[in-house]
Amino acid sequence: MKLPVLTIIVPCYNEEEILPKTMDELTAVLLELMELKLVSNNSNMLFVDDGSKDHTWNLIQVESMQNHLVRGIKLAGNVGHQNALLAGLEAAQRQSDCVISIDADLQDDVSVIRTMVEKYNDGYDIVYGVRDKRQTDTFFKRNTALAFYRVMGTLGIQLIPNHADYRLMSKRALKELLKYKERNLFLRGMIPLIGFSQTKVFYERKERERGISKYPLKKMLSFAFDGITSFSVAPIRFVTYLGFITLLVSILAGGYALLQKWLGNTQSGWTSIMISLWIIGGLQLIGIGVVGEYIGKIFKEVKRRPIYAIDVDHYSENLEDEEADEAAWKRKGTS
């Protein structure tokens, strides 16, 4: 039985403090999998530098020269976590039979990788790493995350609760994912749409040892809103319903005003007029803003600009060298 080639993809942005430990722990896991004959000896780790401002890329380069399991891609600029992850997935699709994506901060338990590979060998195409507890989160983050999953479920968006981007994908699942051509990436919502056989493995998320989180509150809210507007038209529909409700209330209020006029009970009401104007004006601005979000996404999609540019690609270079060596051995064997 041919052993699968596994590529562990690690997007990195300003991770110089934790990256050496990340490389050591992932190397130990990969060597163990090779020793147990769960993956091929051609398996590797691919670190994608998302335009870091520190020494992240230098660490990747040095380690790749000392550790044959480590390879790297340097993006020309910072394009965001999801785009950097996609760059790694696209690079790995040629060589790998399966890929695992994991963040560089070591908060996801790397020991679960073995279980993921075992699930893959059992026939699963997608294996989600799911947190079984959220005790390391603050009270605010824990409850806002739960509210987010409830809202997404109400809107009909398929998400795996308490799952981020720690997952295994088979070659055919990855091939299907790369057929999705949208520029507004929300991989957590896209991957469940692929189908195929899927399962979960549970783990306890650790606290960040070094460095700072790359997802502050502002970025988390933006990410959540991008997910909603990328997969559902419910917000725009809600604005439409709100418009009809406002119209109904206006008709009732107008009828009431006419009735009072006919009864001779009318009097000047500056306060009520101003409140009405502010409410209607606010609703209009909200409606324009929601519509604008969708138009903005359409604007980005139709331009079809590349979502990332690669500055240095050691991964493909190594792959081409390996293919050349393999071809040479084949020629030697047939001569």
Q: Residue 312 CB: number of other CB atoms within 10 A?
A: 15
Q: What is the DSSP string of 254-279?
A: HHHHHHHHHTT-----HHHHHHHHHH
**6-231+306-334, superfamily in CATH?**
Spore Coat Polysaccharide Biosynthesis Protein SpsA; Chain A (3.90.550.10)
- Which amino acid, residue 210? R
Helix ranges (DSSP H) in the chain? 19-35, 56-66, 81-92, 112-121, 139-154, 171-177, 187-194, 217-231, 234-262, 270-303, 314-334
First CA to last CA distance, the chain = 28
Digitized pLDDT (tens) for each residue of the chain, 335 residues in all: 688 899 999 999 988 888 999 999 999 999 999 999 998 888 899 999 988 888 889 999 888 888 889 999 999 888 888 888 888 898 888 888 999 999 988 888 888 999 999 999 988 999 998 888 756 566 656 666 666 667 666 666 677 777 878 899 999 899 988 888 777 777 777 888 888 888 988 988 877 665 555 555 566 666 666 666 666 666 766 777 777 777 677 667 666 666 666 666 655 565 566 556 666 766 776 777 777 777 776 766 666 666 667 877 777 666 555 554 444 444 445 44
The tokens describing 301, both together, are 């999609």
pTM above 0.75, yes or no: no
DSSP state letter for 128: E
- Work out the angle at residue 196's Cα, subtended by the Cα atoms of residues 191 and 199, and round it to the nearest 5 degrees: 75
The tokens describing 109, both together, are 């338990």
Q: Is residue 74 within 8 Å of residue 35, measured between CB atoms?
A: no
